[in-house]
Structure 1
Amino acid sequence: MHPIRTLPWMALLLCCAACTPAPEAVAPVRREPVELVDPRLPSITVSGDESGAAAWNWQPPRRELAGTDLALAKREAARALAQGRLFADADAAIPLYLALQQLDPQDPQVAAGLEKSLRALLARGERALADADDQADALSLAGEIAAVARTVAPRDAGVIAYLGRVDLSDQLWRLNAEGERALRKGGAGEDIDTALRAFREVLILRPDQPRALQGLAAAESALIR
């Protein structure tokens, strides 16, 4: 019976296998959670270096009136205004009055109709702002109205004041959202500080706002746990 001989290259392989360290476990990649933007918040076209309400733009739907009965178009615009159809499509009051104004900038009837439409628009915007502290849909509508109003009459005092109020509501929403995100992260000291700062800043800008007061109370409660 012949003795079993280990070939030199096999011995080398066995030696290498014994000496090779086990592969190190790869640490899992930690991914930061992605903050989703509420799709109902205003989505506004921004141009240039402007920011906030001053940068919002609205392109009026085009309504071709050349060769049509202008008296009929005026009646359509007045009817749209009476029905509260202000800007959504080319048959709404503001796009119609703007198209009529292009044809005859001096027409007093058109100017009066556009002015009434603008005031109705701002009144609707104020109603939206009343709910914009805690309703994203209301803030979105207020921002859309701001874009329309700025296009129609950017130098109008009422429009300028309204744009400022929309800017403030947008700022407060984002501060509240920042504080609420910090609270949801689990209550680390730095997160609580962020939440407290955000809610307190809201209350400086709008004292007694219920959403910020509720958030501040939650942050202070988490701080003493």
Structure 2
Amino acid sequence: MLSKVDRKTLKYCLWSAGTALTAAGFLAFLVAPGRTPKEKRAPFIGRNYAHRGLHRIDRSIPENSLPAFEAAARIGYGVELDVHITRDGELIVFHDDNTKRLCGVDSRVEDMTWSELCKLRIAGTEYGIPLLSEALEVLGTHCPVIIELKRGPRDREMCRKTYALMKRYGGRYCVESFDPGIVFWFRRHAPEILRGQLAYDPAEMV
């Protein structure tokens, strides 16, 4: 027979388990990809991809720069790139949340305007941070593009503006994010777009 303490412990455990299952179910609902037609996946399969463009280790052609995208497109590689939204609502291509590592300025991307960001140089080169529209123009429409949307306080605006821009783009693309809310936005508002949920390897977080 259970004591009062045991009953309380059991009730708490059951409540915790139920809460965890509910949260897991809701997350699964947000990101569930559903059945993706083979013809929608086909353009992205069996290709080489240049992660953040075809950049060089010595940084003479830096990551997520227009020359890196040009180099990838020239040899027919697909491209993965990263998108942030600036304080004044522009879509830029940049990986980090902070410009310190690549530009030497300790500032968060989301706190800067486009006019401030476009003055920065990437990794000491002559190349600046590109707009997403500029990157797409350089890439053309022959190679598939994987767009990672970076999480931030203005996710919905970023999603809306990215979708509006990509509707005018004639090439093949898909979107991905570590943020389930971003993936869900595209599921709800643009279900025709191929999307993917990114996840961290738990071993890398220890």
| Bucket of the pairwise TM-score, normalised by the shorter protein | under 0.3
TM-score when normalising by structure 2 = 0.25
Larger radius of gyration: 1
- Between 1 and 2, higher relative CO (CA 8 Å, sep ≥ 6) is seen in 2
Question: Larger strand proportion, structure 1 or 2?
Answer: 2
